[in-house]
Amino acid sequence: MRTDVSLEDIKSRLGGRLSGGTLLTICPFHEDRTPSLAVYADQHYYCFGCQAHGPLRDLLAAAESPSHVVLVAPDRSASWFDRPKWNRDGEKLTAYVERSHIAMVSQLHVQWYPEQRRLESAIGVAGLGWDLGWLIVPVTDRTHDVVGVVGRAYPHVASKTGMRYDLPRGQGPLQYVPNWEMWNEAEMHYIVFGVLDAISMAVAGIAAASPTAGKGSFDPRWLDHEDQEVVVIPDRHEDRDAFDLAGRLDWRGQVRLLQYEAEEDDCNDILVRRGPEGLADAVAKNFRGRRGSGIRC
């Protein structure tokens, strides 16, 4: 691996303007309309737009790869996981998850999105990975075997494709638990409506799960072995879906409606704006739930 990268090496691939030993150029890691990436002669770079940063050898590798090229049709006629050789000719799902996780932890410049969503502390625990502009979220069972995967598009990919989430073709709805140890030890379980929200709850120290195929895909049978009450926390304006799920959970189901502030629509938004303590406090406060025909306060 080369250890010395010149500014000209970067400029020849990304363009930009050299001034005083610094190259100002377009950032390949986000939707950069004006140059926001500063490349320094002391072998590091920093983006003032998305806060991506790291050594120049990583930037050069990104510039030489198709990591910022959108490979999914904007009309969603193609899936990210339908692209040729996404899993390297039949590579087992576990190996793909491990490979994407190694890509995430070994390349600081691709961690900017989890950092932006304040999920960086969960990269190791949840096994989060990166694959060509997608956040790869492995879905495991209680024995920690990989049973599925969810892809979450980085913002620059989502803006070009209109896609935020994707699943491998043929993968049915699954229960996603980001931290099984926390789930198994918890006295109260929470259900949210997105994998990033479930990870956000885990970051806040709260045992949570989410369906992988949308808010209506949660199967109450997934909790047949649980003997505790389950609290459903909906996103903003999804109260009806939460009460519907709580009803299908029978005696176990409750609903907790959070008091979202401006610019907050879900648990991850709360985590970003208020931090882990703020999310935990939001869940603990303002409890308004329903089980059966009664109101619990």
pLDDT band of 48, cuts 50, 70, 90: confident
- CA–CA distance, 139 with 178 (Å, rounded to integer): 8
Domain of residue 198, CATH code: 3.40.1360.10
For the entire predicted model, the pTM comes to 0.75
Task: Please tell me the number of Cα atoms within 13 Å of 99 on its side-chain side.
Answer: 11
- The answer on 219 and 136 residing in a single domain is no
For residue 50, the tally of other CB atoms under 10 A from its CB is 21
Average pLDDT, the chain: 84
C-alpha to C-alpha distances, 275 to 119, 126, 201, 268, nearest whole angstrom: 10, 18, 11, 9
42 and 76 fall within a common domain: no
Say whether pLDDT at 288 is over 60. Answer: no
* Beta-sheet strands, E only, within 93-154: 129-131, 134-140, 146-153
Is the model's pLDDT at 123 over the cut of 50?
yes
pLDDT higher than 90, residue 209: yes
Is residue 2 one of the residues assigned to a domain? no
- Number of domains the chain is built from: 3
pLDDT tens-place string over residues 128-151: 998 877 899 999 999 999 999 999
Looking at per-residue confidence, does 67 or 193 come out higher? 193
User: What is the percent of the chain where pLDDT is above 70?
Assistant: 84
- Residue 270: domain span: 175-297
pLDDT for position 80 = 63
Strand partners, 140: 146
pLDDT band at residue 86 using 50, 70 and 90 as cut-offs = low
Q: What is the DSSP letter of 18?
A: E
The residue out of 122, 147, 171 marking a domain boundary is: 171
The rounded Cα 97 to chain-centroid distance in angstroms is 14
pLDDT band at 220 (very low <50, low <70, confident <90, very high): very high
CATH number of the domain bearing residue 33: 3.90.580.10
Q: Tokens 């303007």 belong to which residue?
A: 17
Q: How many residues does the chain have?
A: 297
Question: Residue 251: is it exposed, middle or buried by C-beta count within 10 angstroms (0-12/13-18/19+)?
Answer: exposed
State mean pLDDT over 178-204. 96
Lateral strand order in the sheet of 189-191: 175-176, 208-211, 189-191, 230-232, 253-255
Q: How far is CA 217 from CA 174, 198, 208, 247, 290, in A?
A: 8, 15, 16, 14, 21
Q: Cα separations (Å) of 254 from 175, 192, 196, 223?
A: 18, 12, 21, 14
Residues 185, 241: one domain? yes
User: Which residue's entry shows tokens 């049978």?
Assistant: 221
Identify the residue with better confidence: 253 or 286: 253
Q: Which of 16, 38, 64 is the last residue of a domain?
A: 64
Q: Is the pLDDT of residue 59 over 90?
A: no
Kindly indicate the confidence band of residue 287, based on its pLDDT and cuts at 50, 70 and 90.
Answer: low
Q: What is the pLDDT of residue 84?
A: 52
- Contact yes or no for 63/28 (Cβ under 8 A): yes
- Tens of pLDDT, residue by residue over 229-280, are 899 999 999 999 999 999 999 888 999 999 999 999 999 999 999 999 999 9
**189 in Cβ contact with 209 (< 8 Å):** yes
> Does the residue 292 lie in any domain?
yes
